[in-house]
Structure 1
Amino acid sequence: MKTQYAFKALMYLAQKDANGPVLIAEIADKKNIPLKFLENILLELKKAGVLDSKKGKGGGYFFNENPSKIKLARVMRLIDGPIALLPCVSINFYQQCKNCDEKTCGLSEVMKEVRDATLSILENKTVADISLIIK
């Protein structure tokens, strides 16, 4: 859910990008995201440099980077960690599976294919690609 909420918030921000900063309460209300949960998500994205915020009148969250440069894979990793379904096939978060011999495990080979197919999409799609710009 956390990544889904992050994508919903980023899509909304992209749609409102030309209007300046957006209040977190507005995003939470319009996208039906619990406010406290959204605060944590946006703070993570701010710490990673994806978003920035402004306090006071006219304040809120806004993009620190162009939405067309923010890869979906990057957002997923920032919010939830590994994209791979098994830790033994993760590129950035590798861990050996418990009670498994990777040399003879057929599942890991299939999961590498799944990982590669998923990454080929997520590394080539951006926040701008998933944001329907409403005029």
Structure 2
Amino acid sequence: MLSQKAKYALRALLMLAELPEDDLVMIADIAERENVPRKFLEAILVDLRKRGLLDSRRGKNGGYRLARPAAAISFGEVIRIVDGPLAPLPCASRSSFRPCEDCTDAETCSVRWLMQRVRDATADILDNCSLEDGLKHRRATGTLPGEETAAATA
């Protein structure tokens, strides 16, 4: 199951993907627009910066922006950074394999076999959907967050 932390990370990254490459956005602005607790968002953005998804600058004109084009950041990459492996069981994980305590033979376990298929299907979808794809979906299905306010005041 996707954690709330991963959902917040994806929402923040999608917001940053909407902006021109050089625009920096302050944490407070992201938190307000995406309805994310600021302290929680700060920790998420620091992790994403450390992992190379974000650039940041301190100071009055500082903020965050994507470190790579939105097309080069997949949902799968973000979820792995925030939540860890995609496998539903540790025995089905490629990067964090750990046999189940009650399993007598991981190689012949039918539950593991099925969970590996689930992992592969999940990874295929998430790794082949970029922030740019998510942004295209947002645009195709309605206004972007914040646009409804601008339209109402125009």
What TM-score, normalized to structure 2?
0.82
Does 2:115 correspond to 1:111? yes
| Partner secondary structure for residue 17 of structure 1 | coil
2:5 alignment counterpart: 2
Kindly state the Cα deviation for residue 15 of structure 1 after the two structures are TM-superposed.
Answer: 1.2
Matched to 2:132, the amino acid is A
Size of the alignment, in residue pairs? 135
Matched to 1:46, the amino acid is R
Contact 1:52 1:64 in 2 (8 A): yes
Matched to 2:98, the amino acid is Q
| Partner secondary structure for residue 58 of structure 1 | coil
- Coordinate RMSD, CA, aligned: 1.6
| Partner secondary structure for residue 55 of structure 2 | strand
Kindly state the Cα deviation for residue 19 of structure 1 after the two structures are TM-superposed.
Answer: 6.4
1:51 alignment counterpart: 54
Structure label with greater radius of gyration: 2
Q: Distance in 2 between matches of 1:66 and 1:91?
A: 27
Sequence identity (%): 41
Which one has more relative contact order, counting CA pairs under 8 Å at least 6 apart? 1
Q: Distance in 2 between matches of 1:17 and 1:50?
A: 16
> Out of 75, 78, 95, which is 2:78 matched to?
75
Find runs of 4+ consecutive structure 1 residues off by over 6 angstroms.
Answer: none
2:128 alignment counterpart: 124
| Partner secondary structure for residue 125 of structure 1 | coil
Q: Distance in 1 between matches of 2:121 and 2:30?
A: 32
1:47-97 CA distance string (max 9 Å, x none): 011101111222100011111101111111111111110000111111111
Contact 1:24 1:35 in 2 (8 A): yes
**Gaps (5+ residues) in structure 2?**
148-154
